[in-house]
A and B are shown apart, each in its own frame.
Chain A
């Protein structure tokens, strides 16, 4: 039996190398091909390792176990989709590609981390290039880029501070459970560290009140980067939260459960209520993405294996829904179709785009048998399972609230008949159809993904079911 543990690392290094080589070679198509093939290989290989039960630690920094491999799989697929979109719509694909490969390496690093240091490195490696990816598109994007840059720096600083606070308890900073009482000042320092960790990661995870930048940046950035922010960066933050909370700070699960109950409720309400009055579709989906982060937080507040499993499932679901949505928004934006009123008649102008956007939104509302429904169902039941009945009621009420603004877009699309047909291009079409198939197929037959999430959840944490 060969030792395959290093292959994934080599794959990520090759991805970085291809990004750097692209600057020298400057061939767009070749770069798209090489990075896509590498990402696809990473996806296939991580799934292979996951199914063969790989469990290895490399140099105390990188750990390959079901949880990390599952998320490497997700990130490689979502990054592949973003890459496809950016090839067509990025004004400088070569520079994009260099930054993209760094960001991708950062995302993989967070998923694979075996130590808190790797997490902070990964987040830094991912979020700073993302800010530059926005900036290279032209002057009018600088505002969004600077906002993202400052907040990324802030979140990293807070994370570093929290790291310093837990250092006395465990100088190795490895991803192992802390023993709160061994420390200098009893439990209070750990408690502070817990809150700081949550705050730092809430910036990227877009949990209230750390999400006030989200609408501006999501709207201000080109939609392919927005797809990446919502579909990859946000999910990376959740993965980091999983690792920090459910491994390192597991003894404090009662505390963070409480914190997340509050965060989930305020985030859902904030996202859904503000979204009600939006007219710009991109901004509307920024708020919708916030409310979806609130739903994902329910799994954290359940603080059980079942909750972890539900959150993982919903992270997958939302990644596909939001990337598909922003793909179509990107394409429409290039045709200068931006507000809900502009969307009128899309149903007759391009059937596939309107149909897939409708399915994505129905899935976000939580209409069966789509993926978003299964995710929400698992999340709500995980809350009820832990006796958080009120939280489940609030979440259901929020789903009801969200119908209004999603329905506004759907209704606008099918409201009048327009003769002028607009054609989808291959990149957007392939991304949208891929997401569509994933959402319908995994909604009708969710068991494989649920099995994987269970496996991942069980490998992540030693919580009882």
Chain B
């Protein structure tokens, strides 16, 4: 058995250190190479697991702390593998082509690699303690990413982001410590908790569940704790936004799935959670319609999508969970592509307001069509990955919540309608057009190609991954 996760984490840690000691010029190339190698390892792991036919696989190393016993245990499950795959693709593209603004390459390369390390570590951690550690490493690296690189108001946004996220992480810490002391054998191990959390008394379970729930709700984010997201996304650099929306919000989604698996009491809260999530999605669409900044619009679409994913998680059945996981894969890739295109537009035209942007397609062909494809992929047009995800999500939701489960579909339709309107009005209109002083390089186009092709691969060939979901 090849220790894929160990190799991945070692490779990325080595990459972080190597990038730290590299020069300003070589840092980007070096970091991209390490990220590409990580992607290769993930793909190799996929083929290996496709051969063995199962994605449930664990790796154990020595102890982190002996008493309370915290082992360095890692695991792949179908859900976590899907997210690792998404995270490694998005990080690689972010490193390769996200640096549209051509700012400080070295610091951002280090932080992106560190964040990739944190994301992969988080999705593969076999115990909650490691999950918490990687969570905080990821949050801190993205905080610096926003704080150091970004537009003029970035500092306020970064601090807001940090305060929300660290509050979430402290809630998470509290929940983890409670779980540890109330499970019969005192363990952080996720598999053990899933098997034994039913033995915890109900009031304590409710406390643990609500603590987890608050932490992950902030991170996802869902109304009413979503306020950090629009600011952080708008003010961050293109790279920062890609990672924030593409990967960071999935921390919360993944954690939420784990919470539902771990805490049997979650079954009592399915309906209120689904109502909250559905409301959040619909609310976010209406807020989105009043926005003019193209990055802000995309940022709000994240809240819509994550709300729908939370509905799927709350439905908590085979379809819902695999739909949520697949939805996070699709959303991560799509949103990263949209932010890359929006960042490129902002860079080329020095303008992100949809009221002033006209006829982008005239001077920026590839960017415009990528953006258009991204809009299609967001709304779940067939042959894109989001289509498969949406089908699964709504089958799951209708199974649990009967016909009411389809209500969030309205949010998706409204989102699609408004995005088409935006595209039509500001990107595809040819009657008048803005002139662009700058152009984008080849690396951005390569990024478009990678993200676009993966969106279609997972849309056309969903069975590649979904076959493994048959027994979760």
Contact = CB atoms under 8 A, between A and B. Distances in A.
A384 B207 CA distance: 14
Taking residues whose C-beta sits less than 8 angstroms from the other chain, chain A's interface range is 20 to 34
B2 interface: no
A309 B68 CA distance: 11
Given A381-B68, A415-B155, A399 B140 contact: no
Contacts of B136: 367-368, 373
A446 B148 CA distance: 31
B174 A393 contact: yes
Given A415-B155, A451-B66, A399 B132 contact: no
* Closest 6 pairs (CB-CB, A-B): A368-B133, A368-B136, A396-B170, A384-B181, A400-B170, A367-B136
A306 B69 CA distance: 13
A114 interface: no
A368 B174 contact: no
Interface stretch (B161-169, B241-249, B385-393): B161-169
B67 A454 contact: yes
B383 interface: no
Contacts of A136: none
B147 interface: yes
A7 interface: no
Interface string A293-311: 0000000000000100100
A414 B177 contact: no
B178 A384 contact: yes
A446 to B, nearest CB: 6
Contact of A447 (B63, B147, B163): B63
Given A381-B177, A385-B181, A407-B162, A450 B67 contact: yes
Contact of B137 (A369, A400, A411, A454): A369
Interface of B: 63-68, 132-133, 136-137, 140, 144, 147-148, 155, 159, 162-163, 166-167, 170, 173-174, 177-178, 180-181
The dominant DSSP class at the A interface is helix
Interface string A317-328: 000000000000
B174 A447 contact: no
B407 to A, nearest CB: 36
B147 A367 contact: no
Contacts of A369: 133, 137
Given A369-B133, A414-B147, A381 B170 contact: no
A400 B63 contact: no
A295 to B, nearest CB: 14
Contacts of B65: 374, 378, 446-447, 450
A242 interface: no
Interface of A: 306, 309, 362, 365, 367-369, 373-374, 377-378, 380-381, 384-385, 389, 392-393, 396-397, 399-400, 403-404, 407, 411, 414-415, 445-447, 450-451, 454
B439 to A, nearest CB: 28
B177 A447 contact: no
Given A368-B133, A381-B68, A392-B177, A362 B170 contact: no
Contact of A403 (B155, B166, B177, B181): B166
A311 to B, nearest CB: 15
Contacts of A396: 170, 173-174
28 contacts: A365-B166, A367-B136, A368-B137, A369-B133, A373-B133, A373-B136, A374-B65, A377-B177, A378-B65, A380-B177, A381-B68, A381-B180, A381-B181, A384-B177, A384-B181, A397-B170, A399-B170, A400-B170, A403-B163, A404-B163, A407-B162, A411-B147, A411-B159, A414-B147, A447-B63, A447-B65, A450-B66, A454-B67
Nearest to B148: A414
B159 A407 contact: yes
Nearest to B163: A403
Contacts of A446: 64-65
A454 to B, nearest CB: 7
A447 to B, nearest CB: 6
A392 B66 CA distance: 21
Contacts of B67: 306, 309, 450, 454
A403 B162 contact: yes
A380 B174 CA distance: 9
B426 to A, nearest CB: 35
A400 B147 CA distance: 19
A104 B66 CA distance: 34
Contact of A367 (B66, B140, B155, B174): B140
A38 B409 CA distance: 74
B160 to A, nearest CB: 11
B85 to A, nearest CB: 25
Nearest to B133: A368
A355 to B, nearest CB: 10
B155 A411 contact: yes
A368 B155 contact: no
A170 to B, nearest CB: 33
Contacts of A411: 147, 155, 159
A362 B169 CA distance: 14
Nearest to A381: B177
Contacts of B137: 368-369
Contacts of B132: 368
A446 B181 CA distance: 21
Contacts of A404: 163
A455 to B, nearest CB: 12
Contacts of B178: 384, 389
A385 B178 CA distance: 9
Contacts of A362: 140
Contacts of A445: 64
Nearest to B62: A447
Nearest to B66: A447
A393 B170 CA distance: 10
Contacts of B133: 368-369, 373
Nearest to B135: A368
Contacts of B163: 403-404
Contacts of A454: 67
A450 B66 CA distance: 8
A400 B159 contact: no
B167 A400 contact: yes
Contacts of B68: 381
Contacts of A397: 170
B64 A447 contact: yes
A451 B66 CA distance: 8
A403 B181 CA distance: 27
